[in-house]
Structure 1
């Protein structure tokens, strides 16, 4: 009974310590419950069957749980460190360790139960807000009422209880194995060393060298990847070596580089003796010495988080741009199906323009080099007329590259990702099957005709002069219309007609080409209707290949699907980013505030010898600013060069949306720093 009373008294007597712990535990429950409730909303479940939302949200919930578990364990670690002397006093007063562990269990039960209730209540409020934000991001017209998710409630309670038990047993085990002397020594202030050890200098130089190596190779990633063996092995090796060099370099920088820098600043009297810089530098040196591993870990994890956020948000923005690239007009419809649709558009007085493109397929063999390795292509290629290419230029959503050919020349329409890769070269000649002439490749331009892998077969496409194109056989050919609406106000009606008039049809063909004695041999079967890609893949003989294409594509459908994916990816990325930044901000906050009692006497002494409150406040803010932003600065540097490496393989890292998201997260982090510094100042001067 006395232990129950003691547990309650402890909580009320040291409420400022317990409050921070309670706040962080409640935040963890709120975030996790909000995310799980959003996944369980009936209105959102209606669209998960047609969108890849469930998988993305489940992955996001798993990552959030992992973040929060690490965060809760870290918060508990600082909470326990604050109470070692208290536990030592209990031991001196005659309490057995089993009784102290029982007391700790009761306190954690109070705190955990309270934080669970508070977190669930806040989660119930914010889950609706988060769900509405997700719906807006995905352009879904959702009306979300207040919803109590029993599934989320059970899962949060179960997971939270498991984490609570783990933390309790961890605390009990540590307390049981800790001696009385250790309990009283644990939080004694450290004395900064003024030595200039050689190994610190070596570690610091090594860290800077490793970071410089990793950043340089990331900036020249394609060349680095090529030197390591090309795309097959170079991609994995290059990424691994850069990752290891940056991670090890970060730890070396915090263990050796930054302490050496501070020791050097002590030698500069004009800086060290200005205002209260000696207090800031000395205290920062001690904190780096004590927390180098924590700060380096935050730098690495935050850098990884920023890189993932940048990559995913860039990818989501890329999906929207890709929708326009895949369907650069309102509709692309096979000529066998387009006549009835155009007739309906005319009947409904919907203004449009239509241009036809005819494609011939011919077996081809041409040399291709990628990452300085031969990657020759053998199989059917698509050929279109130069006049068809020129005729559709002014009707697309963006301009096509200009081309001009002579007979015997061809232009290769390359995919954008290969155009971005250094060393992606094509051979000078394209060899065709049978007795057909060869063509010299004049240049390669980006394929902006759209439909690749959709209404067009996913195979190399070339432009020929009309005269050369007519010489090719029509054995394997198909045509499609590119239809562009003139007025955006008619899009809704036109899209409804599209879905009513155009059935979904899948075409497929089987081919078998090979080179023998420097001659292209083989053939391809005529195009036919297939039920699905799986059905044709099962009927392909061994050694043969197959291709499929759709009979139609709609820009509005492609854009809507991309917008859904964009909203999901962006939402999960930003949610994870906010969760992670608040978690690491809270860890640093707990670490800083846990030292407030120790620092109070130091600042009171400064006030007695004449330091003004403004100077003390400035010193506190400077100290917290450096601790908060040193790891984040390193993290941003890691993320920048990671995105530089991504930009060698695609252009997703150039999206301005990445910088908007990261700027928003940094703003939240700055507010967190300001709030922590203000609380720290009040604890010290109070």
Structure 2
């Protein structure tokens, strides 16, 4: 009898809360897929050191466990409230509280088990799909093959079971404290709306909006330090919650003023429904808005790094292999031998970078480029800095030879002139160089001939951010700074060539870290977020390593974004579908007052649209300014071709597709519920 009751109630709950079961199935599917990738032989074959991916998924799982616990706890408490009269009746019929608790727990465990079982097969399919995506992005041949490991099933099942057990802990205490009367009338607690004083609470809307505007202004003007940004962000979270605490009072006060607008068509009915729902869900609505904002921003990060991954190395590295050494007399013979043993050398060229005792360009860039940092001399060595200790120069003949190797046209230059070779992302700063920077060589002032901004290995190889090209006669009177070599090979560089070359460079030796590198105040440029600098760069190897990190990050952020959004939308949908059954009489009254079926559905559509638009619009307003600022900084620091609005628009598009899908499901379910007689 008891088992039959559990099975029947679980079946009914699965039907009534189908969106919840569906969302938990989606989450289970994604967890099976990503945990399967951790144990996948194909992933280990793709990248021997897959620790980065494991760490990324571990971080995502930490947040997802919290979200799953919160979602399950919320739905369980919601179900307890809606079914309190049923449980009170059980007690009146002679069941003990212990039996009711056992009944309710097992019902929810059955729902969880159903979601887990439904997620296994699609999870395995998505695992194979995601592994194939990794192989495709890293341009490695992949044949789909069975790669099943039971450990990922145990891991996923364990995490979800833990989330359910922890979420259900409070149910026992809550039911034990409630009397039969409280259980019987628990579902009527949310009817206290209009009788509260709402005048003072309405001002919270104004205060919250003002704070959000101030916060967005600070974000866009970039006038916040790290500590200040944490403080203001906490204030933003509080403002979101206060906004919802004030919105209900704002709507109720608008109704109480009896404006002629509220009597137009179904406006009064919709406003009362909305104010009532916000009143009873104000804290939840604030949490959902934060999750929506988080989902939008995480997907924007995915869009930005996806763009960066496609052209990361081509932004900086035009040569297959670049090597530099602080010793200007170094001959690179060992490096040439290692390269020749691993690949066919098409062309190689050694050259010098010169210094002239001047820092005019460095000083200008330190003042005008965000994110630069000037190292200090500690003893006989220099600390980290964005630029070399002195301005960096190159001979015109070397420059033209390297341009030919990179596939660029040669340039011409006269004695007494110089060419500025700089990064494209600093184009704004280069336009002011002629007016604000005086370049001298051998006590002679040089005139700017032209500015070139093609990729030229300028993250510490051919200067840092810039290189000043002068006539050969001028450079020969300067002091050699360091020596470098550029190599182009046939085909793709074999995996591991980077490590072999690094083993020859004492700057990578752990027992003699940095070696003579900082004796010349080595600079690596002003790139932020992800930069490829060093004295040894094998383009294909670096690109592969960076791509693996970037794709792992994108998978993690997309994973988080989907879970955040689906969990939040599930709560929105469940609340409305529950109300459609609970308040069915209200819609029956509308029909009795003369509204047709089509007109009633229009009222429902308007009600749901406002209900769904409220957190959507607030989260868009919050995220768009943060997103535009983050996107603008990303483009500036990485030099990718794209716009912050484009990145945000793509993430918003993905967001709206899922959002609209949940809205449609809710609308269909809502109209079906109110049409049942």
- 468 and 30 in structure 1: CA distance in 2 versus 1, 3 angstrom threshold: same
> Which residue of 354, 357, 360 corresponds with 2:354?
360
| Contact map agreement 1:429 1:439 (CA 8 A) in 2 | yes
Matches within 5 A, 1:1-400: 2-12=1-11, 16-17=15-16, 19-50=18-49, 52-188=52-188, 189-190=190-191, 192-193=193-194, 197-221=198-222, 224-225=223-224, 234=225, 236-257=226-247, 259-260=249-250, 263-264=253-254, 271-329=261-319, 332=322, 336=332, 358-361=352-355, 365=359, 367=363, 368-369=366-367, 379-386=389-396, 388-389=398-399, 396=406
> Which residue of 434, 450, 455 corresponds with 2:456?
450
| Contact map agreement 1:359 1:382 (CA 8 A) in 2 | yes
> Which residue of 382, 395, 407 corresponds with 2:416?
407
CA distance in 2, matches of 1:629, 1:405: 64
Displacement of 1:671: 1.0
CA distance in 1, matches of 2:141, 2:59: 24
CA distance in 1, matches of 2:2, 2:437: 87
Displacement of 1:60: 3.0
Displacement of 1:41: 1.4
CA distance in 1, matches of 2:183, 2:449: 75
Whether 2:469 is the aligned partner of 1:471: answer: no
Deviates more, 1:596-605 or 1:532-541: 532-541
Displacement of 1:274: 3.1
CA distance in 2, matches of 1:573, 1:444: 42
Matches within 5 A, 1:522-537: 529-530=505-506, 532-537=508-513
SS in structure 2 of the partner of residue 214 of structure 1: helix
TM (norm. structure 1) is: 0.79
Q: Tell me the equivalent position of 1:621.
A: 605
Higher strand share: 1
| Contact map agreement 1:411 1:441 (CA 8 A) in 2 | no
What are structure 2's unaligned runs of at least 5 residues? 325-330, 377-388, 525-532
SS in structure 1 of the partner of residue 171 of structure 2: helix
Q: For 1:240-274, what per-residue CA distance to the aligned partner results, in whole angstroms no more than 9, with x for missing partners?
A: 24423432332222221465257437758564233
SS in structure 1 of the partner of residue 656 of structure 2: helix
Matches within 5 A, 1:629-648: 629-647=613-631
CA distance in 1, matches of 2:451, 2:237: 39
- 193 and 413 in structure 1: CA distance in 2 versus 1, 3 angstrom threshold: same
Deviates more, 1:359-368 or 1:275-284: 359-368
Displacement of 1:323: 0.9
CA distance in 2, matches of 1:10, 1:477: 77
Q: Tell me the equivalent position of 2:328.
A: none
Displacement of 1:218: 1.1
Deviates more, 1:144-153 or 1:331-340: 331-340
Q: For 1:157-180, what per-residue CA distance to the aligned partner results, in whole angstroms no more than 9, with x for missing partners?
A: 222232232233211111112233
Q: Tell me the equivalent position of 2:385.
A: none
| Contact map agreement 2:423 2:465 (CA 8 A) in 1 | no
Whether 2:651 is the aligned partner of 1:654: answer: no
CA distance in 1, matches of 2:669, 2:249: 27
Q: For 1:354-405, what per-residue CA distance to the aligned partner results, in whole angstroms no more than 9, with x for missing partners?
A: 88754224665554336999965672543223565567568757899x9989
SS in structure 2 of the partner of residue 494 of structure 1: coil
CA distance in 1, matches of 2:179, 2:447: 79
> Which residue of 564, 567, 572 corresponds with 1:583?
567
| Contact map agreement 2:624 2:648 (CA 8 A) in 1 | no
CA distance in 1, matches of 2:498, 2:22: 57
CA distance in 2, matches of 1:541, 1:477: 10
SS in structure 2 of the partner of residue 480 of structure 1: strand
Displacement of 1:210: 0.3
Displacement of 1:42: 0.8
> Which residue of 467, 485, 495 corresponds with 2:492?
495
Whether 2:553 is the aligned partner of 1:569: answer: yes
Displacement of 1:665: 2.9
CA distance in 2, matches of 1:83, 1:443: 81
SS in structure 1 of the partner of residue 187 of structure 2: coil
Matched residues, number = 637
SS in structure 2 of the partner of residue 478 of structure 1: strand
CA distance in 2, matches of 1:274, 1:83: 37
| Contact map agreement 2:417 2:446 (CA 8 A) in 1 | yes
CA distance in 2, matches of 1:144, 1:50: 21
What are structure 1's unaligned runs of at least 5 residues? 226-233, 484-490, 508-527
- 614 and 390 in structure 1: CA distance in 2 versus 1, 3 angstrom threshold: farther
Q: For 1:80-103, what per-residue CA distance to the aligned partner results, in whole angstroms no more than 9, with x for missing partners?
A: 222111122223333322221122
CA distance in 2, matches of 1:538, 1:354: 26
Whether 2:673 is the aligned partner of 1:683: answer: yes
SS in structure 2 of the partner of residue 186 of structure 1: helix
